[in-house]
């Protein structure tokens, strides 16, 4: 009697790297391209983080304005910057109209734009320009993040996560 065995080859990818090196973004891309993507309900869960990313980015730029000694084109925008610096980002769960107005005015300021152009001199989220350019859509009351919004959101990933998806029927 002969024994036969079936060997199943299950390819795996192990991803490791420093913070903000793209590990989670890579997995999200694979999920969008080769998996089932993100359902509307799953995308909704990212909204709070997207709002926090927007506030975090603007706070980083207003802080860098001081550090880099870049003046605001419109001196009134210093008031918005001061107000925004005092916002506890962790508690941001929606983009209130006041936040949006202040962020919009700051983003339109040529001083902030000069600061943005020097972003290699301080830490700033890669998705800043994308989110600022889409602020009207993102701040709408009926906002549901798109897959592109989800792909660009930044939040610290901790622990070990297992994701499965099929590529070419494998």
Whole-number Cα distances in Å, 6 to 1, 9, 44, 66, 164: 17, 10, 43, 65, 22
The rounded distance, in Å, linking the Cα atoms of 133 and 139 is 11
The response to whether 89 counts as a known ligand-binding position is: no
The response to whether 92 counts as a known ligand-binding position is no
Is 23 one of the annotated binding-site residues? yes
Q: Is 153 annotated as a binding residue?
A: yes
Structure tokens at 91: 């508690």
| Residue 146 assigned to a binding site | no
- Of the CA atoms within 13 Å of residue 90, those in its CB half-sphere come to 1
48 is in an annotated binding site: no
Asked whether residue 22 is marked as a ligand-binding residue, the answer is: yes
Q: Is 87 annotated as ligand-binding?
A: no
Q: Is 126 flagged in the annotation as binding?
A: yes
> Is 25 annotated as ligand-binding?
yes
- Three-state SS at 154: coil
Q: Do 134 and 152 touch, CB atoms closer than 8 A?
A: no
Residue labelled with tokens 């983080």: 49
- H or E segment to which residue 53 belongs: helix 47-67
* Helix (H), strand (E) at residue 22: none
The answer on whether 55 is annotated among ligand-binding residues is no
Instruction: Give the residue ranges of the annotated binding site for Mg(2+).
Output: 24, 157
Instruction: Give the residue ranges of the annotated binding site.
Output: 20-25, 126-127, 151-157
Instruction: Give the residue ranges of the annotated binding site for GTP.
Output: 20-25, 126-127, 151-157
């Amino acid at each position: 009697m002969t024994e036969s065995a079936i060997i199943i080859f299950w390819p795996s990818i192990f991803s490791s790297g420093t913070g903000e090196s793209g590990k989670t973004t890579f997995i999200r891309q694979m999920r969008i391209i080769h998996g089932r993507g993100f359902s509307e309900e799953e995308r909704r869960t990212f909204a709070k983080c997207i709002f926090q990313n927007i506030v975090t980015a603007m706070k980083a730029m207003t802080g860098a304005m001081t550090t880099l000694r870049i003046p605001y084109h419109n001196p009134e925008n210093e008031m918005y910057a001061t107000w925004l610096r005092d916002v506890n980002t962790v508690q941001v769960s929606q983009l209130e109209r006041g936040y949006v107005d202040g962020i919009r005015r700051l983003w339109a300021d040529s001083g902030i734009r000069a600061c943005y152009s020097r972003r290699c001199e301080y830490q700033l989220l890669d998705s800043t320009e994308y989110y600022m350019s889409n602020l009207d859509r993102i701040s709408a009351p009926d906002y549901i993040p798109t897959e592109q919004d989800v792909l660009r959101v930044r939040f610290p990933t901790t622990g070990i996560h297992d994701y499965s998806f099929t590529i070419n029927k494998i």
